[in-house]
Amino acid sequence: MIYSDKVMDHFQNPRNVGTLPDADGVGQVGNPVCGDMMTFYVKVKDNKLTDVKFQTFGCGAAIAVSSMVSEMAIGKTIDEAMAITNESVAEELGGLPKNKMHCSNLGADALHAAIDNYKAKTAGTATGRTVVPEHDHEGDACCCPYCEGPVEGLPNICACKQCDVELVECGHCHKYTNKAETVCTHCGAQLER
Amino acid sequence: MKRVYLDHISAAPLAPGVFEAMRPFLEETFGNPQSLHTDGQAAAEAVAAAREMTAALIGADPGEIVFAASGTEANNLAVKGLALAQKTKGSHIVVSAIEHASVLNAAKSLEKSGFATTVVPVDGFGRVDPAAVAAALRTETVLVSVMTANSEVGTIEPIADIVRAVKSKSAGVLVHTDAVAVVGNMPVDVRTVGVDALSLAGNPFGGPKGSAALFLKKGTKLAPQIEGGIQEGGRRGGTEDVAAIVGMGEAARRAAAGMSERVARMTLLRDRLIEELPRAVPHVRLTGSREHRLPYHASFCVEFVEGEAMLLSLDFKGVAASSFSACTSKSLKVSHVLLAMGLDQTIAQGSLIFSLIDPTTAADIDYLLDVFPPIIDRLRKMSPLYTDYLKEQRR
């Protein structure tokens, strides 16, 4: 199995799945074109997250990550929840395969989007949900999408040390894709030549 | 727990009797077929017999069979070997958009040697139009490579018509077909089809992994891609994998013998799956052609859910299947075949393929139809796309 027991447990028995009709904040992150999309709902009382629910379209890792994020967030203060990082989620899950790390980013991002949405609503600057159509890949460890090996070279064009594929950085999500491709394999954006 | 294996396109079990046929060539009859002594000659005889049985399966002469170690190798040998052998004649090749990576990447690599490639599109069912292939020919075209059937969507291509269209426009252009998904599972006759080269692999019809061959019409020039000794008539160097070759020969003999009965049995089970699965679960669409379809192949796109999540859930219930969604591939890229067919990227994420193996039974299909609806129901309840869809419906 490519996943840890903990990931499989959260995939099989995800915690806090669903929607909150009376949510104080709703955040949506991702794009089905990339293969995953998450919606997080938060209920806030006295600066604390009293309830968190989510819905996820995506792979096993994406579902497990959402479940873990929801579990980690419930009962936390806003500041504590905003401090949940991609690394801490992956760590709690007993690790994720390298090419699935972007799923963990998505989970924390979706929670943070829901909290931002709550803040904006409280400030009166938002009415609907906060939508982040593309996910932020900042802090993503860079690895070859084909063999997961280390990459080296210039910042915008480099080669995988192991499988010798020439890679280009996507101007949009900043992840690496085979130079021969025309669109980014991670976010679907057109690659600039 | 009950295991229902429905992933023929990834791997198939050995046919009955195949291992027994192979075993002596891993143990007592271990000689090198190139050796002059008794031990070597015993192995050489077994290779010759396997060559005859493999050739007979596709209506070829034994001398037209070049053994290789995988369908991928056979495709590389055909595309690069045939193109490079004719480089003085011209440097343009034509392939279809839904070829296996071993054909597409071989074509890409030929570009470094000065070749240009035209990629012919497919329709919404994954079918290649013979007229479009003919229209792609140039005066400098030396090779056309279009598969006989696609293992991701099950579509069978009009390969005989493609050969006719190509040859009637330009008789000198060679036609290769990747028939890995077809040979041994449906009748194939290289003379009727009229191709110059055809790739096949042993595993899809009950031979061992690591057994494959390229049919090369007598008199066709080929630049070897593995250079070495005089094995395979100098067309493919390297000591013969005698046990694998013998296993493929035996599997070929058995496949030819039981062909029509097996095709009929598989087709019946496949048709049940194709009819009943979309009835058991709404928003499931068949991918590929309904009419021109591999007998063991049922492929779908399940809306609002993602392929890997389905595969993991099915595996928990003991069912092995395949998907070509972005998340199931290591490169995180959705299938080029589904995109070439014009499928929406979001829908393509729900790619799911059930491919039957020889012992698949009606009870296996019953079991799948039983466990599948609750799996999709659970994943859809989790899916924001499905929630949004239901909201739209209520409006």
Q: Is the minimum CB–CB distance between A38 and chain B shorter than 8 Å?
A: yes
Q: Take residue B347 and report the two structure tokens written for it.
A: 């829908």
CB spacing of B346 vs A33 below 8 angstroms? yes
Helix, strand, coil percentages, rounded to 5, for chain A: 30, 25, 45
**Does residue A135 surpass a pLDDT of 50?**
no
Q: Decide yes or no: CATH 3.40.109.10 for domain B18-257.
A: no
* A35 with B349: Cβ contact below 8 A: yes
User: Residue A178 — very low, low, confident or very high, per pLDDT cuts 50/70/90?
Assistant: confident
Q: In angstroms, how far is CA A53 from the centroid of its own chain?
A: 16
A120 CA to chain B: closest CA distance, Å?
A: 22
CA B171/CA A181 separation, integer angstroms: 34
Whole-prediction pTM: 0.88
Per-residue pLDDT, A136: 44
Q: Which residues of B159-179 are buried (b: 16+ CB within 10 A; e: fewer)?
A: bbbbbbbbbeeeeebbbbbbb
Name the band, by pLDDT with cuts 50, 70 and 90, for residue A141.
Answer: very low
A189 touches B at CB < 8 Å: no
The predicted pLDDT at position B31 comes to 97
Start-end of H helices in chain A: 5-12, 60-73, 78-82, 86-92, 101-122
Q: What is the structure's pLDDT at B215?
A: 98
Optimal mutation site among B313, B327, B346, B347, interface A, most CBs of chain A within 10 A: B327
Q: Is the dihedral of CA B162, B168, B169, B170 positive or negative?
A: positive
For chain B, the residues whose C-beta falls within 8 A of a C-beta of chain A are 108, 304-309, 312, 316, 325-328, 330-334, 345-346, 349, 381-387
Q: How many CB atoms lie within 10 A of CB B293?
A: 22
- From chain A residues 6-35, the ones with a CB under 8 A of any chain B CB are 8, 11-12, 14, 17, 19, 28, 32-35
Find the farthest-apart pair of alpha carbons in chain B and give their distance in angstroms, rounded.
82
Q: How far apart are CA B23 and CA B29, in angstroms?
A: 9
More confident residue, A98 or B379: B379
How many Å separate Cα B363 from the centre of its chain? 26
Q: To the nearest whole angstrom, how far is the Cα of A41 from the nearest Cα of chain B? A: 12
Q: What is the pLDDT of residue B125?
A: 98
Residue among B306, B330, B346 minimizing CB distance to A99: B330
CB-nearest to B382 from A17, A185, A186 is: A17
Give the Cα separation of B74 and B222 in Å (integer). Answer: 12
**Residue B61 Cα to chain centre, angstroms:** 22
What is residue A99's predicted lDDT score, i.e. its pLDDT? 73
What pLDDT was estimated at residue A185? 66
What fold is seen in the domain B259-394? Aspartate Aminotransferase, domain 1 (3.90.1150)
Residues of B whose CB is below 8 A from A100? 327
**Closest CA of chain B from A47, distance in Å:** 27
Measured from the Cβ of residue B392, the count of other Cβ atoms closer than 10 Å reads 8
Q: Which residue type, as a one-letter code, is found at position B308?
A: E
- Give chain B's residues under pLDDT 70: 329-332
Alpha carbon of residue A94 to chain centroid: 17
Distance between B343 CA and the closest CA of chain A, angstroms:
12
Q: How many CA atoms lie within 13 A of B376 on its CB side?
A: 22
User: What pLDDT does A125 receive?
Assistant: 87
The residues in A 47-66 lying below 8 A from B, measured between CB atoms, are 55-63
Helix axes B307-316, B362-382, angle to 10 degrees: 130
- Using only C-alpha atoms, chain A has a radius of gyration, in whole angstroms, of 17
Q: Which residue of B has its CA nearest to A31?
A: B346
Q: Is B212 helix (H, G, I), strand (E, B) or coil?
A: strand
Identify from A26, A57, A144 which residue to disrupt to test chain B contact, counting B C-beta atoms within 10 A and taking the largest count.
A57
As a whole number, mean pLDDT of residues A24-30 equals: 93
**Are B18-257 and B259-394 equal in CATH topology?**
no
Give catalytic residues of B, as residue numbers. Answer: 327
Q: What is the CATH number of domain A5-132?
A: 3.90.1010.10
In chain A, whose CA is at the least distance from the CA of B317?
A12
For chain B, the structural domain boundaries read: 18-257, 259-394
Asked whether the beta carbons of residue B334 and residue A11 sit closer than 8 angstroms, the reply is no
| The pairing of beta strand B141-145 with beta strand B116-120 | unpaired
Q: Which of B43, B56, B19 is nearest to B242 (CA)?
A: B43
Based on C-alpha coordinates, what's the Rg of chain B?
Answer: 22
How far is A99 from chain B, CA to nearest CA, in Å?
Answer: 7
- For β-strands B141-145 and B174-178, DSSP reports them as parallel
**A139: pLDDT confidence band, cut at 50, 70 and 90?**
very low
Indicate whether this complex's ipTM tops 0.90: no
Q: Which residue of A has its CA nearest to B335?
A: A185
Size of chain A in residues: 193
- Going from the C-alpha of B96 to that of each of B107, B117, B146, B168, B328, the distances in angstroms are 11, 10, 6, 19, 24
- B308 to chain A: which residues are within 8 Å by CB? 59-60
Residue-averaged pLDDT of chain B: 96
The predicted structure's pLDDT at residue B332: 65
Residue A25 to residue B28: CA distance in whole angstroms: 73
The answer to whether A37 contacts B384, with C-beta atoms less than 8 Å apart, is yes
Q: What is the pLDDT of residues B211-227, one digit of tens each?
A: 999 999 999 999 999 99
Strand partners, A169: A176
Closest alpha carbon to B199 in B142, B159, B257: B159
- Could you identify the residue written with the tokens 């669409």? B285
CA distance A181 to A178: 6
Number of helical H runs and strand E runs in chain B: 14, 12
In order, the DSSP letters of A47-70 are TEEEEEEEEEES-HHHHHHHHHHH
| Contact yes or no for B94/B133 (Cβ under 8 A) | yes
CB-CB under 8 Å, A146 with B382:
no
B276 contact partners, CB below 8 Å, separation of at least 6: B365, B369
3-state secondary structure of B392: helix
